[in-house]
Structure 1
Amino acid sequence: MSDASDFVDAALQREGTWERATADKARLASDLRFYGASVGAVRGTIRDVSRRYPGLSHDEVTALSSELWSRPVFERRLAAVVLLQSNLQLLEVTDLTRIEGFARTGGIRALVDPLAIDVIGPVLELLDSVSQVRANVILDRWAMSDDAWLRRAALLSPLRALRAGDGAWAAFARRAKMTLEKPPEDEPDVALSAIRFMTGELANTRPELHL
């Protein structure tokens, strides 16, 4: 592992407790390992990374995210999500290939949902118009995938933009239609519940939107 990855891993283990690890594993019903570090500790560790290793480049950020994700430990993978979220301005449309792998292997909503809402969606908002077209083609492909977690990521990605009054509803409605017409065979409720979540989140703030 790189020095930065070693630093994150050591910090997360130091912040963890076996009681929280046991409780989080039971609450999330996951096969992942848990160090028992809090979400606040994960975020604080990534802030420490930015101070300890200032000026990380695009390649360094994405490589570190892959290193953190490579081990099946919940806090490491959450740290990878927070790292990407903290460096949105560096990310490019080509990074969706890496992020697709994260979504496919996320396996739980506590990882896939923040990856979709806080990374994928905001990245799309920062892209230029040509790259946005490419990104939307990619997300439409995800919405037709047999992988329910990948579909969920595509469906949830425009939530922040929609909350802010953006016009991303057409893209969400298109992907929701794909899911409703052909539910994924693998854990279909993972994707279908994303549609219910999105419409519920927007019911009060954007009542003009109808699916």
Structure 2
Amino acid sequence: MSDAGDFIDLALQRESSWSRAEESESRHGSGHRYYGSSVGAVRGTIRDALRRHPDLTHDDITALSSELWEVPVFERRLAAVVLLQSSVRLLTNTDLTRIEGFVRSAQLRAVVDPLAIDVVGPLIAGLDVVGRVRADSVLDRWVRDPDGWLRRAALLCPLRELRAGAGDWSRFVRHARSVLPESRPTPPYRDGAVDGGAVDEGAVAVVLTDMAKYRPELEL
């Protein structure tokens, strides 16, 4: 492992708690291992790592995120998300390929949602016109993908822009209608209330619930 990777992993293990690990596994399932570090400890560890290694380049950041992600430990993968979030200004549309791999392997809302909302969304918002066109074509592909988690990421990524009064609502509506079964009434319904583990439909509900609070004039 790299020096930064070693530092992060050891720090997360020092912050571990058996009781928190058991609680996390009960909440999120057995698809990952759990150290039992708190979310605050994860964020603090990444903050400390970036202070210790202030000269990390784009390639360093993305390689470190993959290094953390490679081991299926929930806190390591959450740390990778926080790392990308903290360095999102360095990311480009070509990094969506790496993020796509993360989403496909995560299969967990507690990781996929912040990856979509706090990394993919701001990444795309910061692109120039050409970069954004290319990124939008990637999202169009994601929302048609058989993997429901990838569709969820595509649906959730514009949430921060939409909350702030910007974003492309008509594009979100097209994407949302493409995943909603014709036989199901138009939402709103609560996230988690959808049947069959339809994570993409749940993402539509998350956005609509937020828009009802922040921008009630927007309708599906």
Tell me the equivalent position of 1:60. Answer: 60
Aligned to 2:215: 206
Cα distance, 1:188 vs. partner? Answer: 5.6
Shift of 1:30: 3.5
Q: Is 1:115 the equivalent of 2:139?
A: no
The answer on whether the counterparts of 2:158 and 2:167 sit within 8 Å (CA) in structure 1 is no
Distance 2:167 2:88 in 1: 21
- CA shift digits 1:32-75 (9 cap, x unpaired): 00000000000000001111111210000000000000000000
CA distance in 2, matches of 1:196, 1:135: 24
Post-superposition shift, 1:6?
0.9
Q: Does 1:72 align with 2:81?
A: no
3-state SS, counterpart of residue 30 of structure 2 = coil
Aligned to 1:20: 20
- Between the aligned residues of both structures, percent identity stands at 60
Rounded Cα–Cα distance in structure 1 between residues aligned with 2:105 and 2:120: 15
Letter in 1 for 2:39: V
User: Aligned partners of 2:113 and 2:146: how far apart in 1?
Assistant: 18
Q: Distance in 2 between matches of 1:181 and 1:87?
A: 37
**Residue 124 (1) aligns with residue 124 (2):** yes
Q: What residue ranges of structure 1 are gaps of 5+ in the alignment?
A: none
Q: Which runs of 5 or more structure 2 residues have no equivalent in the other structure? A: 183-195
Match of 2:214, SS? coil
Q: Which ranges of 4 or more aligned residues in structure 1 deviate by more than 2 Å?
A: none
Aligned residues: 208
Q: Which of 203, 206, 216 is the equivalent residue of 1:194?
A: 203
1:130 to 1:88, Cα distance in 2 relative to 1, 3 A: same
For residues 74 and 103 of structure 2, the distance between their equivalents in structure 1, rounded to whole angstroms, comes to 14
Quote how far apart the aligned CAs of 1:76 are.
Answer: 0.2
Q: CA RMSD in A?
A: 1.4
User: C-alpha separation between the residues in 1 aligned to 2:111 and 2:203?
Assistant: 14
Residue 38 of structure 1 aligns with which residue? Answer: 38
Aligned to 2:193: none
Asked if structure 2 preserves the Cα contact closer than 8 Å seen for 1:30 and 1:108, the reply is: no
* Matches of 2:56 and 2:17, distance apart in 1: 30
In 2, the alpha carbon distance for the partners of 1:12 and 1:157 equals: 27
> Residues of 2 paired with 1:131 and 1:40: CA distance?
33
Task: Provide the C-alpha distance between the structure 2 equivalents of 1:81 and 1:147, rounded to a whole number of angstroms.
Answer: 20
CA distance in 2, matches of 1:172, 1:109: 20
Alpha-carbon distance in structure 2 between the residues aligned to 1:188 and 1:150: 14
